[in-house]
Structure 1
Amino acid sequence: MNSTIETILNHRSIRKFKNEPLSEEQIHTLVSTAQAASTSSYIQAYSIIGVTDPIKKKRLAELAGNQSYVEENGHFFVFCADLYRHEKIGEWEGAELIPTLESTEKFMVSLIDASLAAQNASIAAESMGMGICYIGGIRNDLEAVSEVLGLPHRVIPLFGLAVGYPEENSDVKPRLPIHAVYHENSYNVNENEIKAGLEEYDETISSYYHTRTAGKRSDRWTEQMAKMLSSKKRMYMKEFVEKKGFSKG
């Protein structure tokens, strides 16, 4: 096993960082590694906003559900789906791009491009001895986040990425067993096998929480999912996405 694989397998979310800002060189390195990620048809349909203004970080922390690590970290990035520059390219090149830019396909391209870029940056940060935490909470109110960041039409903030040196480390959280997520040649729809895999995982997760919390918690993963997915959340998203000029056709 090489050091890259070890870094990936050692991933854990960090929610308490040292008060140590990243240097300009470190920020540049992380953005460069993000840009090195694969991109569909060379479209590069994303942008990255680095947030250093304390007032803006505080506001984003509030919008994300009062998560302190959004405000207190080495650097806070926001990864955005971005087709704004492509709309401008159409204007400048005299080409009609709007129907393509508003297609669901290009919406998916922008989401995938941004996600690949973010994961590249995350692995790079962890390889440099830093920790990261993805922040989906900014999607609680994307209208407000867009205002804070001054985002134009055809730019959607997808998630934040808090980066910095860990003040404390959490344990690596067990993932689903490989046979539950990896299928060969066709999807395994055998419900008995699917259920058996989830029951196996439930035992692992229940034991993980029991150990981590000294017996205060021992919930199962399927129990968590049933509870979480029973609650409607961020149901405004389709309307917001279309308002921003994405996935309209």
Structure 2
Amino acid sequence: MPARILVVDDDAAIRRLLRNTLVRAGHDVIEAGDGRTALRHAAAGHPDAVLLDLGLPDRDGLGLIPLLRAAGEAVILVVSARDAVEEKVTALDLGADDFVTKPFDTDELLARLRVALRHRERSGAPPHIVRRGDLTIDFDTRTVRRGDTDLHLTRKEYDVLGLLARHIGRVVTHDRILTTCWSGGEDPRIEYLRIIIRNLRQKLEPPGAIGSVIANELGVGYRLRADG
């Protein structure tokens, strides 16, 4: 579906590339070269999504994320040359929906944007069933099937997979998974999460195809791939 996209980047060449890519995909594009203009367009233009660079001339893009989040319901994809894990985690924790590192593949960027927009459309009510290829996750019955085969998951495996499925196609940070899936009486450690992910991959992914269903965002978190 066509969407209105706000592109925020101080590099005119990057804005031009993104505009051409988005227009060819059928979207309407608004541009901003600094944070002040971005906030004005976010308030007046009601964009469906924001592609946000972090290196802006008048303010750091990280500080712009909560302001954009407060300005409307637009999904926020950070598109930045910054590749430090800490900055990715911070952006996601502040409210960004995804993080794409420059230089980027335009097809991947469009795919990430489609996933984020679909998730926004469905976010009004939690899903009852999530399907990904031959994988079916039924939240009402707490069952997981691959084709016609029931998969037997532990409670923790189901909790982690269910959280990833509710945000399919989007990265969920380690901290969010640990906070959501481990109760206050438990001791949430990243090592426990890695074991759960390893077990899920053994049950969900074909031999020799590690990461084909659950992708690892190194040092950041995990993503249930939307494709497949």
- Would you say same fold, with TM above 0.5? no
Higher alpha-carbon Rg:
1
Higher strand share: 2
TM-score (norm 1): 0.28
